[in-house]
Chains A and B, each alone.
Chain A
Amino acid sequence: MGSCITLNHLSFSWPGAQTPLLQIPKLAIDKGERVLLRGPSGSGKSTLLSLIAGIHPPSPGQLDVMGHDLGKLGQSARDRLRANEIGYIFQQFNLLPYLSALDNVMLSCQFAPARRRRLQQQHTNREAAAGQLLDHLGLTRAQHQQPAHQLSVGQQQRVAAARALLGSPALIIADEPTSALDEAHRDEFVKLLFAECQQQNTTLLFVSHDATLDRHFPRTIELTRLNQAVEANDD
């Protein structure tokens, strides 16, 4: 299988802070794994996600994503890795309101040559692939062309999922993508996301503090148990 994300004595603190916010001795997530990451706010969840997504630099040797030691990559190399290999889904307001649903999906190929290349290898282009993904996720053809702000929250989240998935990135990070959805929509969303991830053999790191989602995931990680900094601080 091989590893997708490997943490090795990760320790991270904001510049100027006295105590580290994150202190994780060991964590490994394999390729193709579907993992639920749980943790209350303040547990360093968003910081961990932004480290994995390559927004903030960790120290060398502490964090490895897709075989790249993020601590050794520069800012633009991390941006490129994120563009090519990581799909990111926010809690809400994922879309550029002034672009159509389809254009929002295609946005993920804008800065990602590797995604475009993979689509080419699948003998398709980004417009066709984006349309197909939106179809799979249950948006009508008319909705494809609608400006994003006219879509319902559930539809917007599905467009965001399509954007994250387009061009088969290795990892999808979903940061509480269902918290704005009701239960029926939430289950629907998770099911669709799983199906697409499975098809593309994509690793899924799903963050939620919703306990009822447990049953969907083969593996659940409690960040409070993992992060020793929280225990030490105990705020």
Chain B
Amino acid sequence: MIKLAFASLWNRRASAWLTVLAISISVVLLLGVERVREQTKDNFANTISGTDLIVGPRTGSTQLLLSSVFHIGALNNTLSWDSYTELTQLPGVAWHIPLALGDSVRGFPVVATTTDFFEHFRYGDKQPLNLTSGQPFADETQAVLGAEVAEKLGLTSGDELVVSHGSGGLSFKAHDAHPFVVSGVLQRTGTPTDVAVYIPLAGLGLVHGEYIRPDEHTDHDHGHGHGHDEADEPPVYTLSAVLLGLESKPLALRLQRQINTYKGEPLTAIMPGMALQEFWKTLRLLEQALLAISVLVVATGLLGMLTTLLASLRERRREMAVLRSVGAGPGTIFGLLISEALLLTLFGIAIGVGLLYLIIVLGGNLIQDMLGITLSASAITVNEWYLMAAILIAAALLSLFPAWRAYRNALADGLSVKL
């Protein structure tokens, strides 16, 4: 019967191909949207791992997460250097990465930090940061670039760059008195580290005039002698956020409460995993809107098939009568129509999946460059199988209608067909 359905469809191949095409395009859209959703969510969750707490000035958890991890938006308040030193001395803190944000290099955010960042920061599945070339910054005149920054600005190790104040692409105030030399470029991670410029805290302090070089100290402060230790001189006055790694994860809850009630100044501590999840929930509406649109497109594709099948029934009355004459029962006619719909849909899905992979493989880089969406040609996920099964089931249910019509026609017409 499948063979018969196939032969009959082949006879009407022009309209059959169009139907298959409509279905396959809707499948590309549905699976594409699903893939973008899944992979964006994964990318999102992979931006930071291994960090137990993010501490910043008193603010909302989403805002702190966005500014410290994604470098989106600015924090109104800052965290004093004193608080930072207090944080580092809390019991159970294994490592700490101070972050000072707010400057930019031609639109790319500048993150002032310490070399601890390269040592302790983890992304994805606890993967460390690697450098494709050069090494981490060694002194306050060096900078490390994210992979995307290096590529977009065409900079490599040894090149110079100038940091400007503020996060805009064009700043009125460029700190060109203090250029930085690129010491290394980070490997691509698919996270916001790709699009950031990393400089030492002292470098930022220098740019902002908050930090005086030790050798300049001696020039200016001759008369005073050594009034203070160099270690006591903070490289910057304030920080934007601090990433903390703890000796044991269960400590996080206790420390979070402790930091949130810190007396010295109002602070906020968040657990990145939970904050990420919370933030993702706020995007759910958008996610669902996308899904709804693609489901509607699939419905349109299937309705197109329904129309084609229904329209074909009239011209196929002769075919049905011949089948009836050789003993095909109305049930067989019914099954024939269902198999046709399933064949069309199966082909549509198969071609759609093929198209999707073709688009990802051929156009993946273009999509990445233009939309910033990373799509990988990974194997079909369980969820995607479910979606395809759902399309097939929907097609089978829809085809009940033309099948029923054909069944009724077969009963009524019998062998006589008024042409």
Residue of B nearest to A109 (CB): B326
- Whether A88 is near chain B, meaning CB under 8 Å from some CB there, is yes
Check if A83 sits within 8 Å of B326, measured CB to CB.
Answer: yes
Which B residues touch A111, using CB under 8 A? 326-329, 332
Check if A163 sits within 8 Å of B326, measured CB to CB.
Answer: yes
Check if B322 sits within 8 Å of A94, measured CB to CB.
Answer: yes
Could you tell me the distance between the alpha carbons of A84 and B329 in the complex, rounded to whole angstroms? 13
- Whether A110 is near chain B, meaning CB under 8 Å from some CB there, is yes
Could you tell me the distance between the alpha carbons of A175 and B7 in the complex, rounded to whole angstroms? 27
Check if A55 sits within 8 Å of B329, measured CB to CB.
Answer: no
Which B residues touch A217, using CB under 8 A? none
Q: Please encode chain B, from 1 to 41, with 1 for each CB lying within 8 Å of some chain A CB and 0 for all others.
A: 00010011011000000000000000000000000000000
Which A residues touch B332, using CB under 8 A? 111
Q: Please encode chain B, from 407 to 419, with 1 for each CB lying within 8 Å of some chain A CB and 0 for all others.
A: 0000000111001
- Whether A13 is near chain B, meaning CB under 8 Å from some CB there, is no
Check if A82 sits within 8 Å of B8, measured CB to CB.
Answer: no
Q: Please encode chain A, from 149 to 190, with 1 for each CB lying within 8 Å of some chain B CB and 0 for all others.
A: 000000000000001000000000001000000000000000
Could you tell me the distance between the alpha carbons of A76 and B407 in the complex, rounded to whole angstroms? 13
CB proximity of B8 to chain A, nearest CB, Å: 6
Interface residues in A59-97 by Cβ distance below 8 A to B read 75-76, 79-80, 82-84, 88, 90, 93-97
Check if A50 sits within 8 Å of B415, measured CB to CB.
Answer: yes
Could you tell me the distance between the alpha carbons of A88 and B415 in the complex, rounded to whole angstroms? 9
A-B CB contact pairs (8 Å), 16 listed: A50-B414, A50-B415, A53-B414, A55-B324, A56-B414, A75-B329, A76-B329, A83-B326, A83-B328, A84-B327, A88-B415, A96-B323, A98-B8, A98-B11, A108-B326, A112-B326
CB proximity of A145 to chain B, nearest CB, Å: 14
Residue of B nearest to A80 (CB): B327
Q: How large is the interface on B (under 10, 10 to 19, 20 to 34, 35 or more residues)?
A: 20 to 34
- Whether A107 is near chain B, meaning CB under 8 Å from some CB there, is yes
B: residues with CB less than 8 A from A are 4, 7-8, 10-11, 318-319, 321-332, 414-416, 419
Which B residues touch A94, using CB under 8 A? 322
Query: What 6 A-B pairs are tightest by C-beta distance, nearest first?
Result: A83-B327, A98-B11, A55-B414, A111-B327, A79-B329, A88-B325
Q: Please encode chain A, from 182 to 218, with 1 for each CB lying within 8 Å of some chain B CB and 0 for all others.
A: 0000000000000000000000000000000000000
- Whether A99 is near chain B, meaning CB under 8 Å from some CB there, is yes
Which B residues touch A103, using CB under 8 A? 7
Check if B322 sits within 8 Å of A82, measured CB to CB.
Answer: no
- Whether A230 is near chain B, meaning CB under 8 Å from some CB there, is no
Q: A53-B415, A90-B415, A93-B318 are contacts. A98–B10 as well, Cβ < 8 Å?
A: yes
- Whether A46 is near chain B, meaning CB under 8 Å from some CB there, is yes
Residue of A nearest to B319 (CB): A96
Q: A95-B322, A97-B11, A98-B8 are contacts. A49–B327 as well, Cβ < 8 Å?
A: no
Which of A55, A97, A99, A108 is within 8 Å of B415, CB to CB?
A55
Which A residues touch B419, using CB under 8 A? 93
Which B residues touch A88, using CB under 8 A? 325-326, 415
Which A residues touch B318, using CB under 8 A? 93
Q: A76-B331, A98-B10, A99-B7 are contacts. A107–B414 as well, Cβ < 8 Å?
A: no
Which A residues touch B328, using CB under 8 A? 79, 83, 110-111
Check if B415 sits within 8 Å of A107, measured CB to CB.
Answer: no
Which B residues touch A79, using CB under 8 A? 324, 327-329
Residue of A nearest to B325 (CB): A88
What 20 additional pairs, Cβ within 8 angstroms, besides A53-B415, A88-B326, A111-B327? Answer: A53-B325, A76-B329, A76-B331, A79-B324, A79-B327, A79-B328, A96-B8, A96-B319, A96-B322, A96-B323, A97-B11, A98-B7, A98-B10, A99-B7, A103-B7, A107-B326, A110-B326, A111-B326, A112-B326, A175-B415
Interface residues in A91-128 by Cβ distance below 8 A to B read 93-99, 103, 107-108, 110-112
CB proximity of B300 to chain A, nearest CB, Å: 29
Which B residues touch A84, using CB under 8 A? 327
CB proximity of A144 to chain B, nearest CB, Å: 16
Q: A83-B326, A90-B325, A93-B318 are contacts. A49–B415 as well, Cβ < 8 Å?
A: yes
Could you tell me the distance between the alpha carbons of A90 and B8 in the complex, rounded to whole angstroms? 20
CB proximity of A74 to chain B, nearest CB, Å: 10
CB proximity of A17 to chain B, nearest CB, Å: 15
Which B residues touch A110, using CB under 8 A? 4, 326-328
Could you tell me the distance between the alpha carbons of A53 and B322 in the complex, rounded to whole angstroms? 13
Which of A50, A76, A107 is within 8 Å of B416, CB to CB?
A50
Check if B326 sits within 8 Å of A75, measured CB to CB.
Answer: no
CB proximity of B1 to chain A, nearest CB, Å: 8
Which A residues touch B319, using CB under 8 A? 96
Which A residues touch B414, using CB under 8 A? 50, 53, 55-56
Check if A112 sits within 8 Å of B322, measured CB to CB.
Answer: no
